[in-house]
Structure 1
Amino acid sequence: MSVSKKPMVLVILDGYGYREEQQDNAIFTAKTPVMDALWAKRPHTLIHASGLEVGLPDGQMGNSEVGHVNLGAGRIVYQDLTRLDVEIKERTFFANPVLSGAVDKAVAAGKAVHIMGLLSAGGVHSHEDHIMAMVELAAERGAEKIYLHAFLDGRDTPPRSAKGSLQTFEEKFAALGKGRVASIIGRYYAMDRDNRWDRVEQAYNLLVEAKGEFQADTAVAALEAAYARDENDEFVKATVIRAAGQADAAMEDGDALIFMNFRADRAREITRAFVNADFDGFARRKEVKLGDFIMLTEYAADIKAPCAYPPASLENTFGEWMAKHDKTQLRISETEKYAHVTFFFNGGVEDPFKGEDRILINSPKVATYDLQPEMSSAELTEKLVAAIESGKYDTIICNYPNGDMVGHTGVMEAAVKAVEALDHCLSEVTQAVEKVGRPTAGYR
């Protein structure tokens, strides 16, 4: 006879934090009776989620991936950003056999080296210093045709902050006497993670065919034109950079393409468009047989492409420990954070552990989440409460993405609505937890 279990429930309110300043503070402004009661009557604490405490450089802001990796590991895990910074400083990066091998192969065949990635100082998905190092590596090894395809940020950086970065790279190429910024496009298109393939298609066509909605002589001129169209960095439309007399930067068979994002979740879709023979996200108007497609880090175990920096093995994570002790566990979230409660929480392990179930709730199909700040929280809560009351699980790990996804839009009114929607959900969740006989506590 099976015994009904009383699960330990970890509810992660992604992007939900603590700040004493009240101005522009959505959490302070919102009506949150449930969280207020938990904070007043239940054990609670504040935890650090940035810098050295989560394996990042001192002063570097944290992010969802880093937080979930550290939570799942139960210890400080040094991150790819830190690892790459050290490799570049010590110049071992420039001897990386995967990166240098791809460049050497392209140079020997007279082919181009294409470098793509999020041109950002944010340090969340990439860092522009790493992209600069890759440009230098290609130039040092004799590449003459170096094309940078810049994905613009505006989410982990201020909305209109790309100009300085683009100027720096244009000056670098001028100093080298070779190479150029070949295209710019907002991360909204190039770095989707919710199967919005119409967005990814625009980025793919820009890179492969050198065709976009707009064209400009320089990257800075292209950005200024985008701003004039009222497009912030994140939403800059596909723009080809080519001055009169410059060669076409369309990809050709035998070219090398190096993807300089180190974070996996927003790198997967466009990577699959390039490397999967059976790709069906959209009809590729042009398929190119690259000499090499290089992932800076491993984006997914089933993506068959060389990886410059394979993942360091993380042993005895929370999920692994639970499985070894024959405990059952559930991971549940919306599409936007599903990878975080599964892949990242499990230390980069793609497949579920023994006894681990997963529930994916589709995030709403809206252009930006300020248009639906509650997202799919009602459906997520319904499934979560049912799982708590099922008596099936020893542990449940849940992520509500609203705070992060709506907060990134910068729309205060929507952020307040998101916080209030979360508070309503917490009411149902805490009642379910207490109903099965578990205490509740909180942290921010």
Structure 2
Amino acid sequence: MSDQWKFETQAVHAGAAPDPVTGARQVPIYQTTAYQFRDADHAARLFNLQEVGYIYSRLTNPTIQALQARLAALEGGAGAVCCSSGHAAQIMALFPLMGPGRNLVASSRLYGGTLTQFSHTIRRFGWSAKFVDLDDLDALRAAIDEDTRAVFIESISNPGGYVTDIPAVAEIASSAGVPLIVDNTLATPVLCRPIEMGATLVVHSLTKYMTGNGTVTGGAVIDSGSFDWSASDRFPSLSAPEPAYHGLKFHETFGPAAFTFHAIAIGLRDLGMTLNPQAAHYTLMGIETLPLRMPRHVENARTVAEWLEADPRVTSVTYAGLPSSPYADRVAELYPRGAGALFSFAVRGGYDACVRLIGALKLFSHVANLGDTRSLAIHPASTTHRQLTEAQQTAAGASPDLVRLSIGIEDPSDLIADLDQALTAAAG
């Protein structure tokens, strides 16, 4: 029945029901490591993946399962798996797809930590990444080769707030026979539904807007259930016999749920990047107000961005929700509910002026996070993108003169007043 509910109703009810034993209306925190089997045959069926149930909380947990069901409902997916962070979710998404010598093609406009993960860390697995500017779709086509196993993009990029033409990228990935993975952290399913635009997998850092209050680290992968993993021999983890399960073929056995089952039975089992049930509980509560919070985030971001754009102490604003943005038409077509609440602006005076501005802020919090109800500010070139060269920073939309803002749900006049006095300080 939940697939008939409107989005706002799903945000409150999907994946949850009164506890059948106690009648508890909120999803309980099942703070348990393991679960009692009914008998030996029951245990054997669970371990053989012949029956769905609970074995050990590294794999499955009722609180986390409720969150997974809610996320799948909100994104329009066939299933979801939660894990310990957004970065963990990226590895979980890639793990069944990649192998030594294989590559992924990724947007050059990604969060700095993701650029580092893809540029350096994944090489330890024998994987590699090619980075392309997604405004150049021909470059994307040219970058995909016989060893490519995924295309990875952000719906709204961090830190610049650029919006991606997901349908165009999805068409290219589909024509090449590779899945499209979309990080939908900044847009959330309130503003963007990548699966409806052709995405195969959606990843989230639950740490951000989904929880919304800066209390949780968590991640999730939502599977569309629409990709044919058996159409070629490129994805043997999902199409070929799995030795650890007596030759079971995940796609043949589980169909649209193949990726989700593999991510739990293999990914969580062996990588162990498990979300804890208390974090899942906080995230479930946060999602209940997500449809209320995101419109306020967007409204405030537009108000602050318009003020900054008119200020002579600011040389540019990247917010795609501005009429002056080169992405304004794309926002109107693909993101009609708004371009999110994260963007950057260039401060006259460059790197040193940015440092002074950050030091002068009083209401904005200087933290390495985003998507909080509180407004946050950071200077990416000296923090989140510090590991990159200046050329890489500029390519990623994090040049030395940029400050990134994550606009919260406070009164926008107070946010503008804080930025006003900080810009005065930045000017020396």
State the structure with bigger RCO (CA 8 A, min sep 6), 1 or 2.
1
TM-score by length of 1: 0.27
Work out which of the two has the higher radius of gyration on C-alpha atoms and give 1 or 2. Answer: 1
